[in-house]
Structure 1
């Protein structure tokens, strides 16, 4: 289950304007949280891995004034104790914050001299040889490192000096130790302090809350990890940090507000959990990393099991199918894949990654209809330049294992902050040790950056989502007037230079988004997905695709929890953060292609209607990605006399009602057919009888006992004179309507025939499925000869591991799908008699399989209650739905799938919008068979008790 990614952003791409941007509910940019924080101090000012413990109210005493002036000149503030430094945060925001690294301190002692007129001695002195000044005049700018020896005296306001010195001196001693001993001592201090901090139960909102779980975890934010205590109760989830750096002492989340809970991978370990309380948010409300996978799973299971937690069912398990049918935009689908692959806005080492789409940053006008405007999405960014790729390959040949083509990655914290420098300068300073990068290396021009990723040997970075979000376009502007320096050519680094075809930053991002949603990208995006999230991500396919990165970027390359050496573990952690991480692999097979948008269709009846100035069936609608498109409605028939000729099939479905029912059979109705003249219903049953029923006169025309065994399937010949029936007696029986008897019997299998499938085409093929574990394909005439014999010849026998229960043929009769008793679904090529693909799709019987009308998809339904849809070209499952009821039969008409279940319900699914739109039920017994006549808009259901129900539009 992924986060809710289909965001309604009120973007009017066609008119090149944005409305209600301020109302867009997009908690996406991680920098907002830090900008909203009133305290100037943040964890970004500390070294990587440094922990903030506590702070003290102090006065900084000037040492260069007389005692009588001290009271007037002293500076009030907070002295913060961290694992590697002390930080003084003055109340006067014009004064800089001062950082005292322990490694640069000579000593921290109690100051015993008279400080002020009151002669207090409750003070400490810091003797240091280097300090770091930050945020002078409350401006974000590079840190100032001052190397001269200085003494600082702080008066403690509310505690004794020995209380402060006990911790500070211990940390000072730790800083003098070798790295391994230092880290061990700090870990011991942290463990001891955190164990002494219980959860403050006075912070509970309700005294009657039942405590379910208490544990410790780290809150993950970009470049920041903050430890705290987790408390899960029957009503809320609490996070109490071990320090006071957060805006509130305890973060509280009502369980009823939680919409999504996702398991995450953090630093290549499966220890993360991300919690969303908003359905329209790309960024979570809380991202936690626990000590182990077991502890993470325990928290996850306990959360899910609470009655108050009502996780939203977004239907995102079917997002691939929704994307294929155009219900989900390319951008939203890539955001979904990023989330599924453990990419998160809270984790800069796994920030969501987006492709470079355009290759034209020079033209005055952007032509989105020109293929050369676009980047080749079938190649990784490092392989777009043949000359550079050849240099990579030459180096690869001479390299010892583990080999790699690209020494850098397409997504690292450094690359993310390269793009977001103007939006997140404090994060950039944190990553660059208090400095901005050299002006010539900063993100200054889109074209220059594109040229670099094509040419430079160490630059293969892709883009980030903000490029495709006009409402976030200000990341390209230097709104805070940051002093980013001057380049060697004398130009000052300010706003990002845009291509000539962009009017401004908003227009630039809007056009990138239009390119993202273009037909060209829609047809080719699956190639890039294969490289980043799919089967070309690693292994032999990655080598073939020139898509091999440094080994530490791949999941499973190392196991941090089993590395006992702290130095080695810290080194690997640093490398993982620096080199980036390959997304979790989602697809093991080629990703399905997006379906092409259908051309507008219009029937003859619609043309007449239009000429009479009546309302047409084609309308205008706005998709989830904001583009306005023409919507095509599929009309059932060209017959102007039919009740559905002037309305969409969807409208017909909405008006379906049970018109008539009858019960002719004594047992389950296993198959139904409607005659070509729409006057007769043919039905067979487990009672061994074939029945003919007049729809117009509403009475039985014939009742024939075919054999002594149940009948399973039938096919009515086009002329209406013959009916072919399959039976559990292993045979096919030809019934003559004119003669009123069985005129031919074909011993077809060694066990019961479960289903037959026959297409009335020039090269007619008959396929039969049997419990003898085989499917036979027969070549047969479209007409019956004078001898009243079926002219059939077995041309293929397809063997299975177990009994075959169902089958279907494509319209061109080139391929066949079969389902078996053990839950397997097989895709066969009839000419070569080979299995293209085989999947274990269900548990227990596969009761029915059906090709979509365009033969691009196949649906299967089984006794396990699952409805599944598979893309035939790639074999990827694109849709799955657990209905919690055994499913017995399917019928696929246009874009609508009819599903009959064991409760007697026929559910109708719109397979374009991927949503159920109707539920037909007139009987409680299981629906065993379905027949749908498009021209008369008739739905016929055969039930388990022998009853047949006819549905027609009201």
Structure 2
């Protein structure tokens, strides 16, 4: 929702527009270079130095405006400071030296003076309607003088002009004036006030959807959806473009032309989606998104943001039992009708009200409700909505339980939820989503104060930080989102969702007897401001009751989505907390295919590849490449003189970020570990630990106080903890839960016995760390999890491995190790697969319960598959899948050739997308599973 430029249109006042901007030098008590933006209500100065604040000068306070030689001077004793140090905060109005001077660069001072003087005179008009009319006339005149820069067009000969119009590009709570030029090949948008790019270019070949919308008060508008669009700097670009046209006929022309480029969306009509959902071919989440789409809701318009239901009612239990009907909200009733006492009071008020009467003065979806949920992700939106201040701390979103109690008891709070409470991956939310401000998305991040915002202190003395989660979420926002999604896709909700659809999109909307009549449903002569303030009921899609989903179809849909919902140990977490309920509920819905490879084959999912390297001199990966997946993100780090560390989207291969690698040219890449979808930890061939965070775009030294004394040789991560090893010791670090600095939890191996870290993962209430010693012995370390506030010391038992085993009976090198719920699996260079029981109570050496000899060298392996199986890659190009007992379920030969060009060097599994990723020595990375296959040609990394 907030762009990459520091100055966002969200900094403007309500209904304020940018008229002109230019480079300038500003002088007051000090001299600064930056950009001046002349707007309809204020003058803004945006300094190029991030630590300096954006300054705002209202025209109503400007005095003695004049031209002195090549500069403009004015007096103003009060200035408002915005976004100091690039951080959103309450706007600060302070006194300053009254003399201000602006020296325009490449702009006539006389023209700037004339424009400012006119706007100052307009600000003195007392009548709001008259003032708005004069401002609009000035803006229209300024727009008419702006000509499209034809040199920005990609081809002056091949492109034929179809339409040119003055339009407004719509973003949440803001608008951008500009010129639209539509040709037979491209769509161009030139902002009136400039920006980082003078013209935005959208190829029509990427158009996959377009629809008419009712923006504001029936203004002609279109929302256009583009596929896989990138900016020149490889950053994720807007995938939806919402435009408001000056005339209805221009809107119709654009709609007709764009319709010729939307072949991929034909057939996805409302009736088809309803049938697909009823048959179990579409999840509840996707169907609700479709209904929002068809009813005119848009992520670009906060007054009509997509609406989702509260599905749970239990936000206080230590464990969540999804087989208990009492855990769910009653979907047959609107939020306002969930409390009988409140409903009685509302109807009493309704009966005493003059016409036109309504039940609810507030709405289940409004701009304020959306920003209430997303304040930590898009604070600038709340600052604009609240006139430059965050809402009172006691009214901010602080607790799931508190918000649930409010919406079920208060007569002025009946808001539902938004899609971000259920989305699991990037692909399930558009870039315009408030939770994807930085392009990336990790489930639950919008519930965390990742920007360290100063949101104030509540009356009880508690500072507003992260949203307080239900106990059953175990302090994990990601766990909360996954459990909420699991509830949405449950049999209980699937069998009752049609009743909620009737209330919001169907035959029971805007009806007194169904308790769904809202203020904006009866208000006549509505204004855009009232829509922003009060919200808007979705367009009715169904005049008859929505059919119930069949029980068999609901079970089929849950089976198709359960593997995604159980990602990152979800199934293990459910069994640990609800051993007799949720675990069994999911188990009986597993696909009939026994293994992951067979599931992929039966589902018709496919393979896609792209080249990881650009350098023709490099060509190959060498002996080793770091390759890791987490949360739908692929990390790669390779050797060579042009080596970089890259993050890609695991499904589309769109590059998210790349940073240079900090190691010299050698055959084996140094340790690196993906901590989350937006950050990773690595070493620069020394004793230091470094972190790179996509949000900040910079490196950070983590280990200045806890250095190893020898070069770090291995790293392995979970989301909130990681292990590093060197010749001197093996250390467990914690990083997360709101901490800013790295913390040393304990030294597992003070003597430096550990040679290799095999894996780190959560198991019940412990962290399990599997390692291999210098003597080729296997060791398993069990560390109890502690809350961030828990100050207890680690017991001495934690310094000793709780389990030991022999790496391989023939003494060959260990090439891989993984953990399941009940087993430890180890592969060796000789091709031996050894399976051990996971007995945490055993202290002595353990023997394998089964040995399997493959007859060929085992290169690497992956576990953690949703089927409970594991995969082993061998040097003859084969991939073998085993169950937990060591039985072969599937053998695929010649997946890759074993020669100088195509030998396998690494592979990993992305549980977020349910895909297998493997890298070949010729620089090609392949993804096997549910991938985009629109473009059959490999893409360059």
TM range (shorter): 0.5 to 0.7
Structure 1 residues 78 and 354: CA distance shift in structure 2, 3 A = same
Instruction: Determine the structure 2 residue equivalent to 1:315.
Output: 268
Instruction: Determine the structure 1 residue equivalent to 2:488.
Output: 516
- 1:32-431 equivalence runs, <5 A: 34=3, 37=4, 39-62=5-28, 73-111=30-68, 121-146=69-94, 150-178=98-126, 179-208=128-157, 209-245=159-195, 247-269=196-218, 271-278=220-227, 284-305=239-260, 310-313=263-266, 315-317=268-270, 318-431=272-385
SS in structure 1 opposite 2:277? Answer: helix
Instruction: Give distance in 2, aligned partners of 1:373 and 1:620.
Output: 21
SS in structure 1 opposite 2:214? Answer: strand
SS in structure 2 opposite 1:543? Answer: coil
SS in structure 2 opposite 1:469? Answer: coil
Please state how far the C-alpha of 1:156 moved relative to its aligned partner.
Answer: 3.0
Instruction: Give distance in 2, aligned partners of 1:283 and 1:248.
Output: 14
- 1:450-500 Cα offsets, whole Å, 9 max, x none, are 001111121001011111124331000000100111011111000000000
**Alignment check: 8 A CA contact 1:358 1:374 kept:** yes
**Alignment check: 8 A CA contact 1:323 1:333 kept:** yes
Instruction: Give distance in 2, aligned partners of 1:620 and 1:311.
Output: 27
- 1:143-201 Cα offsets, whole Å, 9 max, x none, are 10125772212233434421210111111111111222221221111111111112221
Please state how far the C-alpha of 1:544 moved relative to its aligned partner.
Answer: 1.3
**Alignment check: 8 A CA contact 1:329 1:625 kept:** no
Instruction: Give distance in 2, aligned partners of 1:160 and 1:261.
Output: 42
- 1:280-330 Cα offsets, whole Å, 9 max, x none, are 99984211112344432221013224xx66443353440101111111111
Please state how far the C-alpha of 1:632 moved relative to its aligned partner.
Answer: 9.2
Structure 1 residues 266 and 622: CA distance shift in structure 2, 3 A = closer
Structure 1 residues 392 and 196: CA distance shift in structure 2, 3 A = same
- 1:740-772 Cα offsets, whole Å, 9 max, x none, are xxxxxxxxxxxxxxxxxxxxxxxxxxxxxxxxx
Structure 1 residues 302 and 543: CA distance shift in structure 2, 3 A = same
Instruction: Give distance in 1, aligned partners of 2:226 and 2:161.
Output: 21
Structure 1 residues 422 and 141: CA distance shift in structure 2, 3 A = same
Structure 1 residues 153 and 283: CA distance shift in structure 2, 3 A = closer
Instruction: Determine the structure 1 residue equivalent to 2:623.
Output: none
- 1:578-617 equivalence runs, <5 A: 578-597=533-552
Instruction: Give distance in 1, aligned partners of 2:388 and 2:561.
Output: 47
Match of 1:546 among 500, 508, 515: 515
Greater shift, 48-57 or 574-583, is seen at: 48-57
Instruction: Determine the structure 2 residue equivalent to 1:482.
Output: 453
Instruction: Give distance in 2, aligned partners of 1:218 and 1:159.
Output: 25
Instruction: Determine the structure 1 residue equivalent to 2:616.
Output: none
**Alignment check: 8 A CA contact 1:553 1:580 kept:** no
Greater shift, 316-325 or 394-403, is seen at: 316-325
Which structure's CA Rg is the greater one? 1
Instruction: Give distance in 2, aligned partners of 1:356 and 1:620.
Output: 22
Structure 1 residues 521 and 49: CA distance shift in structure 2, 3 A = same
- 1:687-713 Cα offsets, whole Å, 9 max, x none, are xxxxxxxxxxxxxxxxxxxxxxxxxxx
**Alignment check: 8 A CA contact 2:359 2:512 kept:** no
TM-score under structure 2 normalisation?
0.56
Instruction: Determine the structure 2 residue equivalent to 1:454.
Output: 408
Please state how far the C-alpha of 1:362 moved relative to its aligned partner.
Answer: 1.0
Structure 1 residues 231 and 401: CA distance shift in structure 2, 3 A = same
Instruction: Give distance in 2, aligned partners of 1:205 and 1:212.
Output: 15
SS in structure 2 opposite 1:79? Answer: strand
Structure 1 residues 533 and 600: CA distance shift in structure 2, 3 A = closer
- 1:232-291 Cα offsets, whole Å, 9 max, x none, are 11111111111113x321111111111111111212415221111128999842111123
**Alignment check: 8 A CA contact 1:598 1:632 kept:** no
Structure 1 residues 123 and 622: CA distance shift in structure 2, 3 A = closer
- 1:373-420 Cα offsets, whole Å, 9 max, x none, are 111111110110001110000000000111111110011111100000
Structure 1 residues 398 and 620: CA distance shift in structure 2, 3 A = closer
**Alignment check: 8 A CA contact 2:332 2:500 kept:** yes
Structure 1 residues 148 and 77: CA distance shift in structure 2, 3 A = closer
**Alignment check: 8 A CA contact 1:283 1:345 kept:** no
Greater shift, 76-85 or 356-365, is seen at: 76-85
Structure 1 residues 402 and 293: CA distance shift in structure 2, 3 A = farther
SS in structure 1 opposite 2:443? Answer: helix
TM-score under structure 1 normalisation?
0.55
Instruction: Give distance in 2, aligned partners of 1:462 and 1:44.
Output: 25
Instruction: Determine the structure 2 residue equivalent to 1:946.
Output: none
Instruction: Give distance in 1, aligned partners of 2:47 and 2:531.
Output: 36
Instruction: Give distance in 1, aligned partners of 2:237 and 2:543.
Output: 26
Instruction: Determine the structure 1 residue equivalent to 2:386.
Output: 432
Structure 1 residues 598 and 183: CA distance shift in structure 2, 3 A = closer
**Alignment check: 8 A CA contact 1:272 1:287 kept:** yes
Please state how far the C-alpha of 1:578 moved relative to its aligned partner.
Answer: 0.5
Instruction: Determine the structure 1 residue equivalent to 2:920.
Output: none
Instruction: Give distance in 2, aligned partners of 1:300 and 1:82.
Output: 31
Instruction: Determine the structure 2 residue equivalent to 1:566.
Output: none
- 1:669-697 Cα offsets, whole Å, 9 max, x none, are xxxxxxxxxxxxxxxxxxxxxxxxxxxxx
- Is 1:501 equivalent to 2:472 in the alignment? yes
- How well do the aligned residues superpose, as a CA RMSD in angstroms? 2.7
Instruction: Determine the structure 1 residue equivalent to 2:509.
Output: 537
Count of matched residue positions in the alignment of Structure 1 and Structure 2? 547
Instruction: Give distance in 1, aligned partners of 2:78 and 2:410.
Output: 38
Please state how far the C-alpha of 1:431 moved relative to its aligned partner.
Answer: 0.9
**Alignment check: 8 A CA contact 1:105 1:130 kept:** no
Structure 1 residues 57 and 346: CA distance shift in structure 2, 3 A = same
**Alignment check: 8 A CA contact 2:332 2:499 kept:** yes
- 1:485-529 Cα offsets, whole Å, 9 max, x none, are 101111100000000000200000000000000111011100110
SS in structure 2 opposite 1:472? Answer: coil
- 1:796-819 Cα offsets, whole Å, 9 max, x none, are xxxxxxxxxxxxxxxxxxxxxxxx
Instruction: Give distance in 2, aligned partners of 1:154 and 1:190.
Output: 23
Instruction: Give distance in 2, aligned partners of 1:620 and 1:360.
Output: 24
Instruction: Give distance in 2, aligned partners of 1:599 and 1:457.
Output: 35
- 1:111-168 Cα offsets, whole Å, 9 max, x none, are 3xxxxxxxxx312212124321112222221110125772212233434421210111
**Alignment check: 8 A CA contact 1:468 1:513 kept:** yes
Match of 1:465 among 410, 419, 423: 419
Instruction: Give distance in 1, aligned partners of 2:276 and 2:238.
Output: 22
**Alignment check: 8 A CA contact 2:7 2:46 kept:** yes
